[in-house]
Amino acid sequence: MNRPLVAILSGAGVSTDSGIRDYRGPNGLWRTDPEAEKLVTYEYYMGDPEIRRRAWLMRRENQTLQAEPNVAHRAVAGLERSGVPVRVITQNVDGLHQLAGMPARKVIELHGTARTVVCTGCHARTSMEDALARVEAGEDDPPCLKCGGILKSATVMFGQRLDPVVLGEAAAITKACQIFIAVGSSLQVQPAAGLAGVAVDHGARLIIVNAEPTPYDDRADEVIREPIGTALPELLHRLSAERE
């Protein structure tokens, strides 16, 4: 018997148990420090050296690179190892799904990765760890070592478009899956949020796991409000058992 393809759209709520703050929750970064949004807005970042200096300090302090996968990340990787066809479409930039054991080729990073820096001039890529070491050594706005251009994290900032190839891959998986789980996402940021609707339109069973209501709750087959650290492992175990 063929097992159904499970697509998991993971948002910031999946990584909060790893110590990474979300953005739009009750204690989210944008609610507690509205000015922080400028640090990840492309126009401000490119046009203001002081914004870039503050952004590098934020990157040095936010501990993303030190974070470890939590039980939710491990549950997703465990489902994949059990033989269920799983694809992760993540709005997160922390790389924790891969660290938990999900094969990188089965993870689509819609918003890029914070583990890499990219030059906005020549597009050369290097590791974030190397760039932060330069900041630690006294460079408050380290330029590209190849061309002298402005460096930024390899994430999609506000004001930047998502990579159309990456978005196309996510859409193809969404249309092909039989089960679509949106977990830890407010489902407010398009076009990622719209994938939930696409999944339903193509006949998938939609399950939403999130602490607060989302715009797609009324289209879901199941809405779970329990904490992700307990709810997601239980849900994935149940789905795996249903198909055995």
The domain ranges of the chain are 1-19+69-111+161-244, 21-62+112-155
Mean predicted confidence (pLDDT) in 132-159: 95
Q: Is 73 a catalytic residue?
A: no
The confidence score (pLDDT) of residue 229 equals 95
User: For the ranges 173-177, 197-201, 210-214, which has the lowest average pLDDT?
Assistant: 210-214
Tell me what the mean pLDDT of segment 180-190 comes to. Answer: 93
95-137 pLDDT, tens digit per residue, is 999 999 999 999 999 999 999 999 999 999 999 999 999 999 9
pTM across the whole model: 0.90
pLDDT tens track for 7-29: 999 999 999 999 886 655 555 55
- Percentage of the chain surpassing pLDDT 90? 79
E strand segments, the chain: 6-10, 86-90, 107-109, 112-119, 125-127, 151-155, 179-183, 205-209, 222-224
- Give the three-state DSSP class for 111: coil
Q: How confident is the model at residue 36 (pLDDT cuts 50, 70, 90)?
A: confident
Main-chain phi, psi angles of 88, to 5 degrees: -105, 130
Mean pLDDT of 155-184: 96
**Given this model, what pLDDT does residue 243 score?**
62
Q: Determine whether 98 is exposed, middle or buried from the number of CB atoms within 10 Å of its CB (0-12, 13-18, 19+).
A: buried
Q: Which long-range contacts (CB under 8 A, 24 or more apart) does 164-169 make?
A: 166/108, 166/109, 166/110, 167/110, 167/191, 169/108
Q: Which of 111, 123, 202, 237 is catalytic?
A: 111
Report whether pLDDT(92) > 90: yes
CATH class, range 1-19+69-111+161-244: alpha beta
CATH number of 21-62+112-155: 3.30.1600.10
pLDDT, tens digit, 9 for 90 and up, residues 54-66? 999 988 887 778 8
